[in-house]
Amino acid sequence: MNYRLQKFANTDLVLARSAAERDKINRSLTQLESVLRYRLNGIKEIIRFGSYTRNTILPRKYDIRSDVDLLIVFEGNLTSETYRRQLINAVSSAYPNSISKKDYPAIKLELNHIMFDLVPARKEISSWSGDKYYIPNRHNGWQQTIPNDLNNALSQKNQYVGDNVIRQVIRLCKHWNASAGYPLSSYLMEKDIVSLWYFGHENLYDRFLKTLNSIAGERSDVNTAIRNIKNNQEDFWGNTNKDEQLRWLQRLLPGLK
List, in order, residues 6 or more apart from 61 with CB less than 8 Å away. Answer: 255
pLDDT at residue 215, as a whole number: 82
- Model-level pTM? 0.87
Cα-Cα-Cα-Cα dihedral sign, residues 94, 100, 101, 103: negative
pLDDT of 85 above 70: yes
> What band does 100 get if pLDDT is binned at 50, 70 and 90?
confident
Domain-wise residue ranges, the chain: 16-147, 150-252
Percent of the chain with pLDDT over 70: 89
pLDDT at residue 24, as a whole number: 87
Nearest to 46 by CA among 75, 89, 80: 75
Strands 107-110 and 132-136 come out as unpaired
> What is the mean pLDDT of the segment spanning 32-43?
93
Report the topology of domain 16-147. Answer: Beta Polymerase; domain 2 (3.30.460)
Amino acid at 28: S
pLDDT of 225 above 60: no
Mean pLDDT of the chain: 86
Which has more pLDDT, 118 or 229? 118
- Which CA distances in Å does 101 have to 72, 77, 84, 140, 248? 15, 22, 10, 15, 39
pLDDT at residue 233, as a whole number: 55
Helix (H) or strand (E) segment spanning residue 21: helix 19-39
> What is the mean pLDDT of the segment spanning 73-82?
91
Percent of the chain with pLDDT over 90: 51
pLDDT per residue over 181-223, tens digit each? 888 899 999 999 999 887 667 888 888 888 887 887 655 555 5
pLDDT per residue over 127-174, tens digit each? 777 789 999 998 888 999 999 999 999 999 988 888 889 999 999 999
Question: Do residues 170 and 193 make contact, with C-beta atoms less than 8 angstroms apart?
Answer: yes
